[in-house]
Amino acid sequence: MSVAARPAARRLTSSVGVLSSTTSTTTATTTAIISSQIPLCRRSFSSTPPASGRRKPRFRNITARDLGLISPTSQKRDTVVTGEQIDDFTAKKFPKYTDAEKAELRRMYTPEQIAALEAGEASINPKDLTIQGRLRTDVYRLPYIDDFAEHQPIIDKRPPASRGRRISPPDPNARFMNTDEFVGDLIEWADKFRVGEPTGTLKRLEDFVPKEWRKVREGQWPGEVRDQAHKDFKKYLQEEINKAAKYQENGGVVPGGPTDADVLSYILERSSMTDKNIQTQSSLALALPDKVPGVAGLYTAAVDAADEGLDETGVYQDLKRRTGMKVQEILKLQSKTLLENRVSNQTRMGKIASYLVFTVVGNGDGWVGLGSAKSQEPSLAWQKARLDAIAKMKPIRRYENRTIYGNVEAKVSGTVVKLFARPPGFGLRVQHRIFEICRAAGIYDLSARVPRSRNPMNTVKATVEALHNQKDPEEIAMGRGRKLVDARKVYYGGATQ
Amino acid sequence: MGIHSICNALSHLQNASRAKLGLTSIPNTKYNLRFALALHRNGFISSVTRAGLTPPPPEALLTFETEPVTTANVSTRRLWLGLKYFNNKPVMSKLEAVSTPKRYVTAEYRQLAKISRGFQAGHVKGLNLGETLFLSTDKGVLEIREALEKRVGGMVLARVS
For A357-396, the DSSP string reads EEEEEE-SSSEEEEEEEEESSHHHHHHHHHHHHHHT-EE-
pLDDT, position A288: 54
A and B: number of Cβ contacts within 8 A: 79
SS3 B78: strand
Say if strands B21-27 and B78-83 run parallel, antiparallel, or are unpaired: antiparallel
pLDDT, position B152: 97
What is the greatest pairwise CA distance in chain B? Answer: 49
Rounded distance between C-alpha atoms, residue A296 and residue A126, angstroms: 39
CATH architecture observed for domain B4-90: 2-Layer Sandwich (3.30)
Per-window interface: A 5-64 vs B, CB < 8 A? 59-64
Which residues from B are below 8 Å from A475, CB to CB? Answer: 86-87
Reading chain A (497 residues) residue by residue, the pLDDT tens digits are 333 333 333 333 333 333 333 333 334 344 444 444 444 555 667 777 776 667 777 888 888 888 888 887 655 555 567 788 888 888 888 888 999 999 999 998 999 999 999 999 899 888 888 888 767 778 888 777 776 767 777 777 766 655 444 555 566 677 788 889 899 989 888 888 766 555 556 777 878 888 888 888 888 888 888 888 889 889 988 888 887 777 777 666 666 677 888 888 888 878 787 877 765 544 444 455 566 667 777 766 666 778 888 887 888 988 998 899 999 999 999 999 999 999 999 988 889 899 999 999 999 999 999 999 999 989 999 999 999 999 999 999 999 999 999 999 999 999 999 999 999 999 999 999 999 999 999 999 999 999 999 999 999 999 999 999 999 999 999 999 998 888 877 776 655 54
Q: How many CB atoms lie within 10 A of CB B13?
A: 25
pLDDT, position A7: 37
Residue of B nearest to A59 (CA): B53
CATH topology of domain A408-491: Ribosomal Protein S5; domain 2 (3.30.230)
Q: Cβ contact (<8 Å) for B130 and A473? A: yes
Rounded distance between C-alpha atoms, residue A403 and residue B143, angstroms: 28
CATH topology of domain A315-395: Double Stranded RNA Binding Domain (3.30.160)
CATH class of B98-160: alpha beta
Distance between B42 CA and the closest CA of chain A, angstroms: 7
| CATH code 3.30.1490.10 region(s) in chain B | 98-160
**Sequence-separated (6 or more) residues with CB below 8 Å from residue B73:** B52, B67
The kind and range of the H/E element at B69 are none
For residues B139 and B1, which has the higher predicted lDDT (pLDDT)?
Answer: B139
Which residues from A are below 8 Å from B54, CB to CB? Answer: 59-60
For residue range B97-151, list pLDDT tens digits in order.
999 999 999 999 999 999 999 999 998 999 999 999 999 999 999 999 999 999 9
Domain ranges of chain A: 315-395, 408-491
| CATH code 3.30.1370.30 region(s) in chain B | 4-90
CB contact A406 to B (< 8 Å): yes
Q: Which residues of B touch A (CB under 8 A)?
A: 16, 19-25, 42-44, 53-55, 58, 78, 82-89, 91, 128-130
| Of residues A405, A416, A422, A420, the one with CA closest to residue A461 | A416
CB contact A291 to B (< 8 Å): no
ipTM for the whole complex: 0.93
**Sequence-separated (6 or more) residues with CB below 8 Å from residue A325:** A319, A390
Amino acid type, A304: D
pLDDT, position A257: 73
| Of residues B52, B140, B40, the one with CA closest to residue B92 | B40
Which residues from A are below 8 Å from B160, CB to CB? Answer: none
SS3 A481: coil
Rounded distance between C-alpha atoms, residue B140 and residue B152, angstroms: 10
Which residues from B are below 8 Å from A54, CB to CB? Answer: none
Which residues from B are below 8 Å from A64, CB to CB? Answer: 20-22, 83, 85
Average pLDDT of B31-57?
A: 95
User: What is the CA angle A486-A491-A494, rounded to 5?
Assistant: 65
Q: Cβ contact (<8 Å) for B42 and A482? A: yes
pLDDT, position B25: 96
Q: Cβ contact (<8 Å) for B55 and A71? A: no
